[in-house]
Amino acid sequence: MALKQTGAVNAPHISICKSRIRDFIGEYKPDAFMSFISQGHDFDSPINLFISEYLGADFFQHFHTQLGRTKSGDVVLQESQIPAFPDIIFAVMPKWDTALSNEEKFLSRCYRNAINMAKSNGYKRIVLPALGMGKSNFPHRRIVRLSLSAITSELAAPIEEVVVVCAEDIMYTAYQERLTALGLLK
């Protein structure tokens, strides 16, 4: 698990890693990690199934109550009750439908709101999964551009590092290319 790191030493930076989030979290031990939940509050992504498996059935019931009337772009903090497991910032992801909808705006809002929540809670090390193309086949380069733009616009102390964990080679390569093009990758 090798991290490719951006930015200057002693300044907030972004790193990318090729790994499964399940493996990475245990080894890296972040303060928090970001996960996505669909606008309809479906909890069926591999990462969210891992979370509910790790935190148990009580977590799932409590969490659905917390979601309430959240909408696309909103974030909800779930503090971990297990010392070895980080807090989780859930971002409510928009449903992808057409090129004419506001999904780019809402996806950017997910990232900005999650980074701001992390800052307001004093987190220093944040992990987030690279969104794949998913069922809707949303263009991966577009996701990378949107996510990095939103993250870099909000990245500041107390956050020291944001790690984007890529399970798929195509996403890892896209993040690496974009960070290089921006002159941020060491």
> What is the per-residue pLDDT for 97?
61
Q: What is the DSSP string of 105-167?
A: HHHHHHHHHHHHHHHHTT--EEEEEPP--TTTT--HHHHHHHHHHHHHHH--TT--EEEEEES
| Residue reference for tokens 């992390």 | 118
Q: Is the pLDDT of residue 179 over 60?
A: yes
Q: Is the pLDDT of residue 41 over 90?
A: no
47 within a domain of the structure (yes/no): yes
Please state the pTM of the whole predicted model.
0.84
Res. 25 pLDDT band, cuts 50 70 90: confident
Residue range 98-122: mean pLDDT, rounded: 84
> What is the per-residue pLDDT for 7?
54
The CATH number that applies at residue 145 is 3.40.220.10
Q: Is the pLDDT of residue 98 over 70?
A: no
59 within a domain of the structure (yes/no): yes
> What is the per-residue pLDDT for 115?
95
90 within a domain of the structure (yes/no): yes
> What is the per-residue pLDDT for 164?
94
- Cα separation, 88 vs 97, whole angstroms: 27
Measured between its terminal Cα atoms, the distance across the chain in Å is 17
Number of domains in the chain: 1
> What is the per-residue pLDDT for 106?
82
186 within a domain of the structure (yes/no): no
Give per-residue pLDDT as tens, 2-16: 566 655 556 788 999
> What is the per-residue pLDDT for 165?
92
Could you tell me the residue range of the domain that residue 84 belongs to? 4-181
24 within a domain of the structure (yes/no): yes
